[in-house]
Amino acid sequence: MNRMHFLFNPKTVAVIGASRHPRKVGHVIFRNFLEGSFRGEVFPVNPDTKTLLGKKCYSTVLAIKKRIDLAVIAVPAAIVPGVMKECGKKGIPAAIIVTGGFREIGNTELERKVEKTIKKYKIKTIGVNCLGIFDPYSGVDTLFLPSYKLERPGKGSIAFITQSGAIGSVILDWMAMKGYNISKFISYGNATGIDEAELIDFLSKDKKTKVICVYLEGVKHGRRFYEAAKKCSKRKPIIILKGGLTKEGNKAVSSHTGSLAGTKEIYEAVFRQTGSIMARDIEQVFDFARILSTQPLPKGNRVQIITDGGGFGILTVDNIIRNGLELAEMNKDSQNFLKNHVPKYVVVKNPIDLTGDATTERYKMALDTALRDKNVDMVAVIILFQVPTLTPDIVEVINEANSKKRKPIVVIAAGGRYTETLKKSLEGYGIPCFSYPERAAESLNALYQYSRRKTG
């Protein structure tokens, strides 16, 4: 078996540095394995403790008689090289080192010792200076942030790779709140062992992952990253948020993960040449990820807008055009059908304005007609859920249309708690929802651009 698999699907795990103190990193990680969905065996390692949370504690990993698939290391930086040597002698194929205090603070020589041991024993290693891995499918959870403070997302198809543990933790919590699900989360820190290129290559072959999102500060091996990203983008989308694009941000990168950031122009050229999709902020990363992981690729860039609010329709038109997309013009048969089945005051153009007394039945008719029309490539459905004639059944109507996967559908809806509740239901069905037209249009364009790369 590829040793990388032991990081995500171990049967036995040793938590080295498991502590009795409930606020210590090692304690939280050990508790995660015991109380989460992990179904394998977990062994705490701490020479100063005999038992921990009802489990026998071992003085060293070498004292454990069973084979260990994965070691999670949460000990002071100074003793990490020695611990890794013991893992090597034990024959452990994979390790996650959450400990910081290495190259990122100038302690380069200590990190070199760790790297030397990793290479000698061929241990597939995430870290140092990282949060590690969260995999909702296998139950591997090395995040040393308690679940009552940081919620974990459910099982999904979006993978997230990040150099920054802080950004990663916020994203996970935000995703859980929004109802966005995940296949794998990997915080890899200083990339002492496995780097971003190897992770991209691994995830490109992962059947549970449809879209790969990356927060990147610097690249360890430029050519390897280029080849991995280019190869992967032909299989599945890669969305990248690059930190350190300004001169000042570039300097900050070197003191965070000890990476060489490089210039903005170089990175933008690399992303373009590899077919990677560049996002400008965290929210856009997941705007793009949601549409790319749930919607079919469009044949063209013609968008039909359906709305029950004229103003939102106009704003959506503006943003569709700004993003280089086109307004669809439905054929005469489609237009005549709608005109014969809706009130005369309904505007059957683009946008189709169902007006403020729109009903669920009216939306269904307009949406089905747009999806059948050969002149329409994508559909943007604007719903003001607040109108009194519209029932919550609209969620099922949109879901039914989306489940056939004929053409991409996005929903634009702004409002308060009632609106957000219905949007969360739609997201649960795999329908991307947006509060603002500009974000919906940008996401439709990202989907269209990826479809051109895929088929070009």
Task: Answer yes or no: is pLDDT of 242 > 60.
Answer: yes
- 250 vs 231: CA distance, rounded Å: 27
pLDDT digits (tens, 9 = 90+) for 91-150: 999 999 999 999 999 999 999 999 999 999 999 999 999 999 999 999 999 999 888 889
Q: Tokens at residue 183, please?
A: 């296949």
* 333 has a pLDDT exceeding 90: yes
DSSP state of 58: B
Whether pLDDT at 216 is above 70: yes
- Mind listing the pLDDT tens digit for each residue in 403-427? 999 999 999 999 999 999 999 999 9
For 71-92, what is each residue's pLDDT tens digit? 999 999 999 999 999 999 999 9
What pLDDT score was predicted for residue 455? Answer: 78
* pLDDT exceeds cutoff 70 at 261: no
Name beta bridge partners: 242. 216
Per-residue pLDDT, averaged over 294-311, amounts to 96
The pTM assigned to this predicted structure is 0.91
Taking alpha carbons only, the member of 404, 428, 409 closest to residue 366 is 409
Average pLDDT over the chain, rounded to an integer? 93
Residue 330 has pLDDT above 50, yes or no: yes
For the chain, how many residues are written? 456
Contact 320/313 with Cβ under 8 angstroms? no
In this structure, are strands 94-97 and 155-162 parallel, antiparallel, or unpaired?
A: unpaired
The model's pLDDT over 358-389, given as tens digits with 9 standing for 90+, comes to 999 999 999 999 999 999 999 999 999 999 99
Domains, the chain, with CATH or none:
1-129 (3.40.50.720), 150-294 (3.40.50.261), 296-455 (3.40.50.261)
Taking residues 6-21, report their average pLDDT.
Answer: 97
Q: Residue 120 to residues 123, 188, 252, 397: CA-CA distances in angstroms?
A: 8, 20, 32, 59
Residue 151 has pLDDT above 50, yes or no: yes
